[in-house]
Homo-oligomer: A and B are copies of this chain.
């Protein structure tokens, strides 16, 4: 007996079957089309990099998650851990040839030896946009507009772009007399708000702050109300950046209901220096679907050019999961619209003529590959979700007709042979909507 190799994938990695891919392609097509409509162009970096490029950029804990190995030439190699560091390397290497400010999007897989969980994989897809080389707040506002446009285009009925300002947060922490060396620790704890809740945050803060300070902080991060109500309550802090950001997003016609000033939002990463974002989908149980903000000096490890920027990463896998959860991907079908049946060699030439005509008219069609019983061919059409099946028997050929079976209803219709393309095209355009 043969010993077969178990056809398994590594934990945290996935095969994508046709329907998975049809959904993913649909989502990706809309996302990148919005990026391009705002003038973002695509770049790509290799999946494998010198380890020196990747290591030491994300903190010690993250370094442990990086896939590393030696190649045959003894080079120390690492798999891409995110797209930001390789992007910084690309910008440093090509600075003279890039338009500055530089807007780009970048879609690619990254690898992390993390513990797999719901929405957390070892190989997953990131979609980033960044604008680098400008400090103007218009860049933050445009990034928010792109996020808004992507989620609106995908059809999410509700979503919230939560934002905060590092300048505001720093002014709060300074006003509360929290020593500068403690501020980073406090920000890291606040960043867990969405995962561990207010209570969890307070337990952790207890270890480093006094009860009074915590209670003052709670009043700030827990404040309810509209964006302008919050700003009015926080007049003693530095809200200039937030006011200007809201004014610009208003000019960019982002509805106020999609933007939420969130004083507790902290983004643990130390490198954010201005406005920060996190985006949530009410009703989807998946955490933030986008996150980002303003950072200083992206390329400082690679070049003396000082480039401030603002960017956001779209969690592509999470967006797909959220759309699945909300039933937004139910209408996605595979490519084929038409199956032409094949019963005998004698009728094949006529069938191939129809096949040629349909594919040249860009109606996605296929012909069954061998003579087979009707039941088998219908089962095939059913498994692929093909909506139309065409029969061309001797009788139809003689009468210059074709018979169409509508798989959704089971009904059949005979139409003249020379009307097949136009008929399917009309029907096809209707069902696509």
**CB nearest to A363 among chain B residues:** B37
Distance in angstroms between the alpha carbons of A334 and B73 in the assembled complex: 37
| A42 and B21 within 8 A (CB) | yes
Once A77-B10, A384-B99 are accepted as A-B contacts, the answer to whether A15 and B41 lie under 8 Å apart by CB is no
Once A5-B52, A131-B369 are accepted as A-B contacts, the answer to whether A349 and B251 lie under 8 Å apart by CB is yes
Distance in angstroms between the alpha carbons of A41 and B336 in the assembled complex: 8
B-contacting 9-mer, from A227-235, A298-306, A405-413: A298-306
Once A36-B364, A64-B72, A251-B349 are accepted as A-B contacts, the answer to whether A46 and B4 lie under 8 Å apart by CB is no
Q: Enumerate chain B residues within 8 angstroms of A139, measured Cβ to Cβ.
A: 369
A136 interfacial by beta-carbon distance below 8 Å: yes
Distance in angstroms between the alpha carbons of A14 and B248 in the assembled complex: 38
Q: Enumerate chain B residues within 8 angstroms of A45, measured Cβ to Cβ.
A: 9, 15-16
A266 interfacial by beta-carbon distance below 8 Å: no
What distance in Å separates the Cβ of A274 from its nearest Cβ neighbour in chain B? 14
A109 interfacial by beta-carbon distance below 8 Å: yes
Q: Enumerate chain B residues within 8 angstroms of A25, measured Cβ to Cβ.
A: 42
What distance in Å separates the Cβ of A152 from its nearest Cβ neighbour in chain B? 10
A284 interfacial by beta-carbon distance below 8 Å: no
Q: Enumerate chain B residues within 8 angstroms of A356, measured Cβ to Cβ.
A: 252-253
| A301 and B5 within 8 A (CB) | yes
What distance in Å separates the Cβ of A381 from its nearest Cβ neighbour in chain B? 9
Distance in angstroms between the alpha carbons of A18 and B100 in the assembled complex: 13
A159 interfacial by beta-carbon distance below 8 Å: no
A166 interfacial by beta-carbon distance below 8 Å: no
Question: Among B7, B253, B364, which residue has its beta carbon within 8 angstroms of that of A37?
Answer: B364
B-contacting 9-mer, from A89-97, A257-265, A316-324, A393-401: A89-97
Question: Among B38, B99, B123, B253, which residue has its beta carbon within 8 angstroms of that of A380?
Answer: B99
| B4 and A16 within 8 A (CB) | no
For chain A residues 80-126, which have a beta carbon within 8 Å of chain B?
89-90, 92-94, 97-101, 103-104, 109, 111, 113, 122-123
Question: Among B22, B48, B50, B349, which residue has its beta carbon within 8 angstroms of that of A42?
Answer: B22
What distance in Å separates the Cβ of A6 from its nearest Cβ neighbour in chain B? 8
| B10 and A41 within 8 A (CB) | no
What distance in Å separates the Cβ of A236 from its nearest Cβ neighbour in chain B? 27
A53 interfacial by beta-carbon distance below 8 Å: yes
A13 interfacial by beta-carbon distance below 8 Å: yes
Distance in angstroms between the alpha carbons of A315 and B25 in the assembled complex: 22
* Complex interface bits, A24-66 against B, C-beta within 8 A gives 1, otherwise 0: 0100000000011111111111111110110000000000100
- The list of the 3 closest CB pairs from A to B, nearest first, reads A69-B69, A39-B366, A18-B41
Q: Which residues of A contact B (CB under 8 A)?
A: 2, 4-10, 13-18, 21-22, 25, 35-50, 52-53, 64, 67-73, 75, 77, 79, 89-90, 92-94, 97-101, 103-104, 109, 111, 113, 122-123, 131, 134-136, 138-139, 142, 149, 248, 251-253, 300-304, 334-336, 339, 342, 348-349, 352-353, 355-356, 359, 362-367, 369-370, 380, 383-384, 386
